Amino acid sequence: MAVYITNSEQETIALADALAKGFLPGTVLAFKGGLGAGKTAFTRGLATGLDCNDDVTSPTFSLVHEYIGGRLPLYHFDMYRISGYDDLCTTGFYDYLAMNGVLAIEWSENITEYLPDETIFIEIEHINDNSRKITVTPEA
């Protein structure tokens, strides 16, 4: 486990950028954190670290956004409205696991039992308006 403190959105993005440089095909990241915690900002940093120049936005209404142009594809999921195996299957989740990209999953609490054993958990907690405590388990 590794614990980081970031004091701005830019620092959160920079942390994710640095971590992403070491990710391999098939990396699965499961985010934990409430609304406004910084999950999408962290994903922006992942995209940068994977050399993807696309504009990263929250996949709230589309369930998944694909960012293909980088060193590895990045698949950004929102599992907020997923409740069970059948719902999960409708997202194409298992197909994406086989595509050798990096999966970044918001609201992963809803699918914990279906995540691969090698999943890296990223918990983002508010400290104050600008600062976040980011816990990465296992250490990336």
CATH of the domain at 94: 3.40.50.300
β-bridge mates for residue 136, sequence order: 2, 122
- Domain with 60, as residue range(s), is 2-137
* pLDDT tens by residue, 106-136: 999 999 999 999 999 999 999 998 999 999 9
Strand blocks (E) in the chain: 2-6, 28-32, 64-67, 74-78, 102-106, 120-126, 132-137
Q: pTM higher than 0.85, yes or no?
A: yes
* pLDDT tens by residue, 36-72: 888 989 999 999 999 998 778 776 666 888 998 889 9
Please report, rounded to a whole number, the percentage of residues in the chain having pLDDT higher than 70: 96
Residue 139 pLDDT > 80, yes or no? no
Residue 80 pLDDT > 70, yes or no? yes
Q: How many domains, in total, are found in the chain?
A: 1
The pairing of strands 120-126 and 132-137 is antiparallel
Q: Can you tell me the distance from the alpha carbon of 87 to that of 139, in angstroms, rounded to the nearest whole number?
A: 30
